[in-house]
Amino acid sequence: GAVVSQHPSWVICKSGTSVKIECRSLDFQATTMFWYRQFPKQSLMLMATSNEGSKATYEQGVEKDKFLINHASLTLSTLTVTSAHPEDSSFYICSSGSGTSLPDTQYFGPGTRLTVL
């Protein structure tokens, strides 16, 4: 299957700072990327859907001004957690797909563990 990478794999930051997480599709062009968040022993929750060149669509309850998503190219999407607080500590996972094919072709990245002190 396709390869999706995330960087960094883990990050620790102070409360009030901003953190940027990168998601790259390494061997195909991803017109759509999805961002998920997973709290311990919980399911992966879809946060937002980003399409290359357009604004991201956020799920209900997700603050778009806090979680800034940029999908400037077909191989890169970034999630910036602004003014991070301890409750933002979570495992953030991206996935990429072609946008028109079946859900099987959503390839997940390895995730980023964010810890906010």
Partner 1 sequence: DQQVKQNSPSLSVQEGRISILNCDYTNSMFDYFLWYKKYPAEGPTFLISISSIKDKNEDGRFTVFLNKSAKHLSLHIVPSQPGDSAVYFCAASPGGGADGLTFGKGTHLIIQP
Stretch that binds partner 1, among 11-19, 60-68, 73-81, 106-114 (CB under 8 A): 106-114
CA distances from 74 to 30, 46, 60, 95 (A): 5, 20, 25, 13
Nearer to partner 1, 51 or 70 (CB): 51
Nearer to partner 1, 13 or 45 (CB): 45
Is-cis flag, bond preceding 110, omega within 30? no
Nearer to partner 1, 6 or 78 (CB): 6
Exposure string over 48-77, b if 16+ CB within 10 A, otherwise e = bbbebeeebebeeebeeeebbbebeebbbb
Q: Check binding of 61 to partner 1 (CB under 8 A).
A: no
For residue 35, give the 3-state DSSP assignment: strand
Q: Check binding of 105 to partner 1 (CB under 8 A).
A: yes
Kindly tell me which residue out of 25, 75, 78, 106 binds partner 1, with binding defined by CB under 8 A. Answer: 106
Give dist(CA 109, CA 111) in Å, integer. Answer: 5
Nearer to partner 1, 67 or 97 (CB): 97
Q: Check binding of 49 to partner 1 (CB under 8 A).
A: yes
**Contact positions vs partner 1 (CB under 8 A):** 1, 4, 6, 9, 32, 34, 36, 41-46, 49, 59, 91, 93, 95, 97-111, 113
